[in-house]
Amino acid sequence: MKRPKNKVDGWVVLDKPLGMGSTQAVGKVRWLFSAEKAGHGGTLDPLATGVLPIALGEATKTVPFIMDGRKEYRFTLRFGEARSTDDGEGEVIATSDVRPSDEAIRAVLGQFIGDVEQMPPAYSALKIGGQRAYDLARAGEAVKLKPRMVRIDRLELLARPDADHADFVVGCGKGTYIRSLGRDLAKALGTVGHLSALRRTAVGPFREEAAISLPKLETLGHIPPLLGALVPVATALDDIPALALTGTQADRLRHGQPVLLTRDAPPSGTLVRAETGSKLVALVRSDGVALQPVRVFNL
């Protein structure tokens, strides 16, 4: 017998465990909440842990804003071994006896800050001719990817556990592959390397301090206790200015109709979060005279 679906709207900031894929994590959270719809705000590899924002119900309409948000990671780079996957899962494909000093590491970090050209890993979810790159790579086929420009705002050496390992923190934009960053950083230091650990600590407004583990969610067990773990839908839109509307104006937006503004209209092209009381009604775009609905929320 199928469980009845619930209308559940909000974000779960999951602390994804090691070894679980993002799709599997979303499925588990959706099942726990018996939610009608679910999605996530940015893939995490199975060998990575940390912040995986999972959207339920109406929150799925705000996923693109989280995908575009700034991300932060902590990672450990293992020097001396290059691997096919650029992390600990793959086969060793090259070795080196070179172990850089802390001073040498700090001297090259500036090369990786700003707009940086990066070659994605062969084992990635990018599509080539309709197929995932990692599927082609696992089948032994040559994977031809194109370099892309990514944005890295922060890259710092945190610690040096031993000569073989170095711990870093990185703040970056959409589409940055930390495995590629580790590989390229080792190369710039005259050696080879791969990521031996990766943890995402922030995605947009969602940070690891507020993340909840899967065992904790399972302990909550059922609704209503589970609803206490939800973060409001509007959290994903924190960077977008809010505009208070009357109940009548809100009803027009809910029916997909524009709202005329006689004064205080935002500049043309501005994206605004339309609210009535404390309730999110819609994302709207101003044309200088009226607010045109872009996304309407059923909350």
- For the annotated catalytic residues, the residue numbers are 45
Question: Which H or E run includes 65?
Answer: helix 63-67
CB atoms within 10 A of CB 9: 22
What's the Cα-to-Cα distance from 29 to each of 91, 208, 222, 228, 233, rounded to whole Å? 32, 17, 11, 14, 16
Q: Which residues, listed in sequence order, are joined to residue 56 by a DSSP beta bridge?
A: 10, 38
| Cα–Cα distance for residue pair 104/121, rounded to 1 Å | 25
Q: What is the dihedral of CA 243, 246, 248, 250, to 10 degrees?
A: 30
Kindly report the CA angle at 218 between 63 and 197, in degrees rounded to 5? 65
- Residue closest to 78 by CA, chosen among 198, 219, 223, 224: 198
Q: Write the CB contacts of 160 (distance below 8 Å, at least 6 apart in sequence).
A: 102, 166, 167
- Residue closest to 71 by CA, chosen among 219, 162, 202, 211: 202
- If you search the block for the tokens 């974000």, which residue do you land on? 11
